[in-house]
Structures are given as C-alpha cells and as structure tokens.
Amino acid sequence: MEETQIKELKTLLSTPKKIVIIPHKNPDGDAIGSCLGLYHYLTQYKHDLSIVAPNEYPEFLKWMPGESNIIKYEYQTELASQKIKEAELVFTLDFNSLSRIDDVANALESFKGDYIMIDHHQAPDDYARFMYSDTSMSSTCEMVYNFIDFFEDTNKITAEIASCLYAGIMTDTGSFRFPSTTSNTHRIIANLIDKGAENSYIHNAIFDSNSIDKLHLLGCALKNLVALPAYNTVYITLSREELQQYNYKKGDTEGFVNYGLSLQGVKFAVIFIESVQEDIVKISLRSKGNFSVNEFSRSHFQGGGHNNAAGGKSDLSLTETTKYFESVLKDYKSQLQ
Ligand code: 5GP
Ligand code: MN
C-alpha cells in the first residue's frame, strides 16, 4: 500500500465510522479469519462495525472469536442491507471483483462511500479508492497483519486477532507448505503465537472436526478419481446424488482436491462438484509448478484465483463438464509435461 494512501486512511479512521467488512461468497478460512481479525482490530478505535458475508460457511470456522456477529446476507438480507445503506466505508477482503459477492453487489449499488480492498488474488478490479492488492502474499490474513503494521499498531494485536489471522494463514498456505509461504509468513506466524494464537488448538479445530459422513464422502471422491497420466493430471467428480447419500454439508469437500495433487508426478488436479443448490458444477483447480490454474479457469470455467489454486464453475451437466475438460486439456499437453 502506498505511503500517501496509508496516511489518508489513517486520518479517515481516526474518528469513529460506520464500517462494513465483506468477504467473498462461500468464505473460506482466510476470508473469515481476515474479516474477523480486522473487525477486532478496528473495534479498538470505536468504529461501528459489521461483517456481512454473502452466504453460509463451514462449521469448522465457527470457533473463531466474534464469529457469531457475522451477518449472513442470504439469511439476514434486511439487516445486511440496512448496514450497507448506513455504511461510510466498506472493506472488501480476500476477493478481487464485486462479482464474487453475488447479491451483496446489488445491495452496494447505492453505496457512495469509499471502498478499501485488501486482497491477494490476481487481476483486481478497479473499484476501491484504497487498494492493498499483492499477489505475492500467502493470504489476506498475512496482509491484514501488515495492514495493522502499516499503522504501527502491532502492539494492539490481541489473542483474538492473532487466532483469526493464524487460522487464515494456515488454511490458505495448506498448513505452511505452498510456495506462497515465505520466511516473512513464518515470522508473522511466530509473532501471532507470541500474541496468543494457540496453534495446536487451531489446527485441531479446523482439521480434526470431521464427521463420519464427511470421511465416507472422501472415500467416495477418492474412488471416483480419474488419472490422465499423459497430462500429469487427475480429476475427481462428485454428483449431487453422491453428496446427498453422505448428507453433504457446506465445507465437507474442502481440501479433497489436494488428494489428487498428492499422486506422484501429478501437476494438475481438479474436482468437479455438482451443486446441490444451483444448476451448476463447482470446480476447484490446483497445480504444482508453473502451470497457471488461474488462467486455465479464466479461459474455460468463468473463474480465476491464483497460479496454483483457483475456482470456477460450469453450466453444463457433470458428465458434459468433464468431457469438455478432457477436450480442452489436449491444448495444454506440452505445458503439463
Ligand atoms: P477454491 O477452489 O478453494 O474455491 O478456490 C481456490 C482459490 O481461488 C481461492 O483463493 C479462491 O478465493 C479463488 N477463487 C475461487 N473461485 C474463484 C472465482 O470464481 N474467481 C476468482 N477470481 N477467484 C476464485
Ligand atoms: Mn485467500
């Protein structure tokens, strides 16, 4: 973030404001962690704060301090719209385009105040007056830590803030193993532990809270895995019927796609999940090395994200989607060698 922007924002935030903080749709650990971390930080300046999430998020994120204050637009549309109507400032966290917040974007149409974007996705849209966008960052939570640091306020980081930020950095870095994890990420993590983030408790709360149905669904997903060795690619499918058979709940398929990447030699892994609510197939894409799943998803699946992790969707049926996937994959053979 530029020095002049930091100064300007500091002045703006020096008197209490009505502020709304928004994560992307289907928020993950980084989205919820960064919103709550920022929320607890800004509370110390007596702002009137609300977090408006477009929709529901997984149970395993609900241990985070302050979580019960999050307003879910899909269930609490009126309250959320009211907060947006009153807002003077809107922070948008962990996304790069207002199209990623669905109906909340409509509610924001009449918003005349300033947007502040904090995000690490590629190709950010130009809607924010204050923009902290850095694709080299491991996570938005790492950026919220830096944001607090820009204001020379790391002494204001409480155990609550530290726990939320730790959780988001941990989830977005695949527990500190993706290449986006730098020595600086680890220094921040060390500071967060010093401030009171209980690392072992957080890992346990997020990763060891599986239900038997979820593990059975994972078994089903792994059985459905298709390997395409000529392309160093694997994909997994889950149909609506399979999801229903194992009483699918939001978040149950989180991390499944990474099992594909664990196969020796695999550079590209994809999971296609038929949506239970909408008439679409949701897609998660992961890669190792230089193959950009961000570009692949932008070109073929109406999505995007990062070089090694992206999301997307398809309006075709599940079978047609995988057929289409296999057909376009042919053009990437040399890139995947
Ligand atoms: P996931 O596969 O876990 O849903 O998403 C992987 C990464 O890509 C996350 O950082 C997520 O925010 C991002 N992502 C998912 N869907 C989209 C999308 O439609 N557009 C963009 N730009 N990023 C996405
Ligand atoms: Mn993120």
134: left (phi over 0), alpha (psi -120 to 50) or beta: beta
Q: How far is the CA of 253 from the centre of ligand 2 (A)?
A: 17
Number of H helices and E strands in the chain, helices first, is 13, 12
With CA atoms as reference, report the closest residue to 94 among 34, 146, 177, 42: 34
Q: Does ligand 1 come within 6 angstroms of the Cβ of 284?
A: yes
Phi, psi of 314 (to 5 degrees): -135, 140
Which 3 state secondary structure label does DSSP give 260? helix
Q: What is the spatial distance between Cα 139 and Cα 313, in angstroms, rounded to a whole number?
A: 23
Nearest ligand 1 atom, CA 257: 2
Structure-block tokens of residue 127: 């809607």
pLDDT in tens, the chain (337 residues): 899 999 999 999 999 999 999 999 999 999 999 999 999 999 999 999 999 999 999 999 999 999 999 999 999 999 999 999 999 999 999 999 999 999 999 999 999 999 999 999 999 999 999 999 999 999 999 999 999 999 999 999 999 999 999 999 999 999 999 999 999 999 999 999 999 999 999 999 999 999 999 999 999 999 999 999 999 999 999 999 999 999 999 999 999 999 999 999 999 999 999 999 899 999 999 999 999 999 999 999 999 999 999 999 999 999 999 999 999 999 999 999 9
Residue 89 is predicted with a pLDDT of: 98
Hey, what domains does the chain have and what are their CATH numbers?
3-207 (3.90.1640.10), 212-336 (3.10.310.30)
Q: How far is the CA of 10 from the centre of ligand 1 (A)?
A: 30
Ligand with an atom nearest the CA of residue 123: 1
With CA atoms as reference, report the closest residue to 250 among 57, 100, 70, 60: 57
Q: Does ligand 1 come within 6 angstroms of the Cβ of 141?
A: no
Q: How far is the CA of 203 from the centre of ligand 1 (A)?
A: 22
Ligand with an atom nearest the CA of residue 24: 1
Q: How far is the CA of 206 from the centre of ligand 1 (A)?
A: 19
With CA atoms as reference, report the closest residue to 216 among 250, 236, 242: 242
Q: What is the dihedral of CA 292, 250, 50, 144, to 10 degrees?
A: -30
Closest CA to ligand 1's atom 16: 311
| C-beta neighbour count of 244 within 10 angstroms | 10
ipTM of this complex:
0.94
Q: Does ligand 1 come within 6 angstroms of the Cβ of 251?
A: no
20-64 pLDDT per residue, tens? 999 999 999 999 999 999 999 999 999 999 999 999 999 999 999
Q: How far is the CA of 13 from the centre of ligand 1 (A)?
A: 30
With CA atoms as reference, report the closest residue to 32 among 169, 176, 205, 224: 169
Closest CA to ligand 1's atom 2: 284
Contacts with 206 (C-beta within 8 Å, 6 or more apart), sequence order: 29, 60, 61, 167, 170, 171
Closest CA to ligand 1's atom 10: 305
Nearest ligand 1 atom, CA 283: 2
Which 3 state secondary structure label does DSSP give 73? coil
The DSSP secondary structure of 78-118, one letter per residue, reads HHHHHHHHH-SEEEEES-S-GGGGTHHHHHTTT--SEEEEE
Q: How far is the CA of 231 from the centre of ligand 1 (A)?
A: 23
Q: Does ligand 1 come within 6 angstroms of the Cβ of 311?
A: yes
Q: Does ligand 1 come within 6 angstroms of the Cβ of 54?
A: no
Rg over CA atoms, the chain: 20
Cite the DSSP H helix spans in the chain: 3-12, 29-43, 77-86, 103-107, 140-150, 159-172, 183-194, 199-207, 212-223, 240-245, 256-261, 293-300, 318-329
Q: Does ligand 1 come within 6 angstroms of the Cβ of 310?
A: yes
Which DSSP letter does residue 139 get? -
Nearest ligand 1 atom, CA 284: 2
Q: How far is the CA of 281 from the centre of ligand 1 (A)?
A: 14
Angle CA 292–298–299, to nearest 5: 95
| C-beta neighbour count of 93 within 10 angstroms | 28
67: left (phi over 0), alpha (psi -120 to 50) or beta: alpha
Ligand with an atom nearest the CA of residue 254: 1
